[in-house]
Structure 1
Amino acid sequence: MSTPESRIIPTDLGNEMSRSYLEYAMSVIVGRALPDARDGLKPVHRRILYAMNELGLTPDRPFRKCARVVGEVLGKYHPHGDTAVYDALVRMAQDFSMRERLINGHGNFGSVDNDPAAAMRYTECRLTALTSDSMLRDIDCETVNFGDNFDGSQQEPLVLPARIPQILLNGSSGIAVGMATNIPPHNLGEIIDGFVALIHNPEITDLELMQYIPGPDFPTGGQILGKATIREAYTTGRGSITMRGVAGIETIEHVGRPDKEAIIITELPYQTNKAALIEKIAELVNDKRLEGISDIRDESDRDGMRIVIELKRDSYPRVVLNNLYKQTPLQSNFGANMLALVNGEPQLLSLSQFLNVFLDFRIETITRRTQYELRKAEERDHLLQGLLIALDNLDGIIQLIRRAPDSAAAKQELIDNYGLSDQQADAILQMQLRRLTALEAQKIQQEHEELRTKISDLEDILARRERILEIAEFEAVEIKTKIATPRRTVIEHAEGEIDERDLIANEQAIILITEQGYIKRMPVSTFEAQSRATRGKAGTKMKEDDGVEHFLSCCDHDSVLFFSDRGVVYSVKAYQIPVSSRTARGMPVLQLLPIPMEEKITSMVSVTEFSSEEYLVMLTRNGYIKKTALAAFSHIRTNGLIAISLEEGDQLRWVRRAKVGDSIIIGTHQGMAIHFRTNHEQLRPTGR
């Protein structure tokens, strides 16, 4: 009899923790967090779909309670919490989470506002046509391996016989131990086009595949900015893809009140919470970090999303929209990390590697299905051959059966006298009398001939790889024809790929700033030539105590440098300054530049090209002068750049452009003046 002490196994604590943690990590990686590259599913999703198929929840059958499905999965395949199973089921039924839903839900399955789904006892579900046709159709044809469930009482598939690259279609995300995956969803028609292209050209590259699969296609639509990050993700397996919601600017009419400009958001980036976005915008407005917004409301309904952001009358809609992109989740990044299990090991895959893994799997499943169908056809034909022998020797076989003392003796005599197998003899003994008619005999002969043709075709498929590839292509294109939908996400050129200036005419313009801080831009064509001795035209509308303080003429593509009394320089493209009429006051400089209320613009300079041969000459109130190369100001941050360091109480007052050899004359209030050259001997250049 053993004692408690004898059952204790001495072991090193460090080794035991290392071994146990390694087992836990491998269990999470292989059995929970990472999808299989072949069918694109994690174990919990695979078990849910297989259990629903076993329950007969096909698209043509009635809905069943989700609680019934969850119970089936927990009891037979997935011994974990019911919440985990139900959450996975709900996600596969959400059209804003999946590019093509795998489950058709009936009831409340949550919303893009992150509202939770109703309890599983209230909701119902069944498989979609896509899942039934492309994931489970060949499950009973010995196409995939099965393994024991957690207690050995049931068999479950280790992978589903997918006919399409589901891992690219709906993507996947998960956090394992020491690694994570985040694969974006794609358009069904595009990935099948890419799959077909791979079949026809096995050496196709990732960049060539992008002609068929230009980028992710998110279920919520939106925009993707730039193809460079998509190329990086597709070629290396990792990349940060910039997503942006779809927003437009409309005029909202109010009865009895002036019309207002409004930003209308109709699509959000993938996995963006609409309610959280609205809350974030309201928070920024309340904290005075987002200017120009007077009201925000959610007008979304069953017809689609519509977030209305009403603007103040003096705001510039494009500036507000750009701030929304910068400060809110209306523009966000999708960190692609395309990690999946290949032969049970996690691997980072490129686009072509994903499709190659799937193609190899597809060849295997078609081969195994064909072998299964060939075996079944040969078994059936073998029985038919026995029946044909019986029909050819009908009288003798009838007499043999009548003479036999029992069925076992009759079976043995059939085998001995006519060379039949056990299966053929059993089939003859079980044959009904009505099958002895001439019509039935003809049907048996016809079925035998059809089976011989089918067997020859199946053998040809197994002998020729090109036949298998043709079948893979045909079945994929068939699904595309039935289920594929147009692309929802628009891929836009990012800034730098197509310059925004290419879309704007480079016309001459006039920019002016008033003493009270209003700025506006007007085309030069606003002021046509006038005869002498005329009154002229008003250039702007001002209050009585206001006046024009700064004025310059430039082209719309020029950069305009604004220098403040604190010695900070800001840069804005001329076309980004709102165009106003001659009679308009313009917009406050505070809404165009990120400057505090107490800061004042003291100089304004337009620049067409930041040349190293030109300089900016700066003069402060206390008489300090500085010359800096114009090229030093070519890259100015949004929040400005320090152009000159000032002593306490000093201010930057004047800034002018100059070349080496130009003359500078500075005059004072006392009527004194000084003249010097801008060469390096008299005025040495310094850095910022």
Structure 2
Amino acid sequence: MVISQIPYPMIGANIAKFLMDVAALSESKKTQDIVDISNQSSKEGIRIVIELKKDADVDNFINMLYKKTRLEDSFGVNMLAIADGRPEVMSLRDIIKCNVDFQYETATRKYTTLLAKEREKKEIQEGLIKACNVIDLIIEILRGSRDRAMAKACLVEGKTEGIRFRSRESKIMAAQLQFTEKQANAILEMRLYKLIGLELEALINEHEETMANIYRYEDILDRKDAMAQVIINELEEIRRQFGVERKTVIENVAEAVYVEKKIEEMDLVFLMDRFGYARTIDTATYERNKEAADSENRFAFICKNTGKICLFTNTGQLHTVKVSDLPLGKFRDKGIPIDNISNYSGEKERVIAAVSQTSLNLYRMLFVTGQAMLKIVDGGEFDVAKRTVAATKLSEGDEVVSVMPLLGQQQIVLQTKEGYFLKFDIEEIPEKKKTAVGVRGMKLGAKDQVDQAYYLTSGVPSVISYHDKELDLQKMKTAKRDGKGTKIRV
């Protein structure tokens, strides 16, 4: 199978991401039809080759690519524009209307300018033609004048005082010339070769062409349909010179239907290490290697193979991953990067907590941020049907440092980077919506922030290592929320 066209958002480095996504589908046993995949794209065009097994259902495989990768994609367009001097979010119809109005405005300015230039040419041409018809009188005026100003005054205003004429008739005719100022300047600057018969004929032809242009420009400016045709012709010419034919076809196509094989529900164990590689193993394998699995992985918990894993990040996002998209393997298998099968980006965010979809629906979640903002959110409020949702609202410069399902814990201990500890009852923290900011849990110094959060259950020992010394949190004095806390000195 050869892919020669890709969606716009896949251009560039995202082709490599697509190849990784396809490889992940094979590794996670989502499909067993792939034999090999290679990117043979060059300056000649896109060419991604996927070699399939002989008995593969090609149509179903293509539909799977549409569903599970970005081979079929959409991208948003920012339709915010400045219209009539103010910002406005516009529809496609509005954008097109504004563009058409702009074309009319531009064309109107263009042909108004051209018309003014042609009228100026007409004025000068008519002056030169008129001058050629009385050239002897013009020469007599020029020879009889003391300077340029006197000659110009005669041509424009008919002033004959001080000019020496050969006869009274010439003086009377000179007083009646009445050239415009532009015509007079053109006559005074006219060279003698313009008096040649062919030059005069060319001038007359040029005047006729100028008049035709004036009639045409006036017609375009007077009639909207004529203006519209001019705009269409100009756009057609631009398309002829610079247009590139569409490489894809716009058509009504039914949504791709990918038939997934039904799987029997069973318990698995989700494992994710500190490098972001995730996988699942069966419960029996986990029980045999429980100590190693818990120590070598950041997260290790039971989940349903038909459910989802919910990842909370420091940026306040909740990413979901289908358990069926994770590779099921042996205990020492490496797994796949969680980035490959979710919207999570390890370069921009960190996973703070991971829970199964089942646990999220059963429990309330306690959020703690670096600026000591706390709140409790009912787990059922999160929409796990989406791949990514906003899990909490953060103030500028704040981030999530802890997310914990409440399983009967009674108290919480906040630890700051400067070594302050504050212990208080969890019941002091209100339950809020996921879109809320939360309440302040602790007063912080100007440059201090919450670094860790510990959750205590009555009767259960809770000893941490602090600067290489053991610190029993259960023995710490209980205070009230929003206190300053106590600095632990080593």
Of structures 1 and 2, the larger Rg is shown by 2
**Scaled by the length of structure 2, what TM-score is found?**
0.45
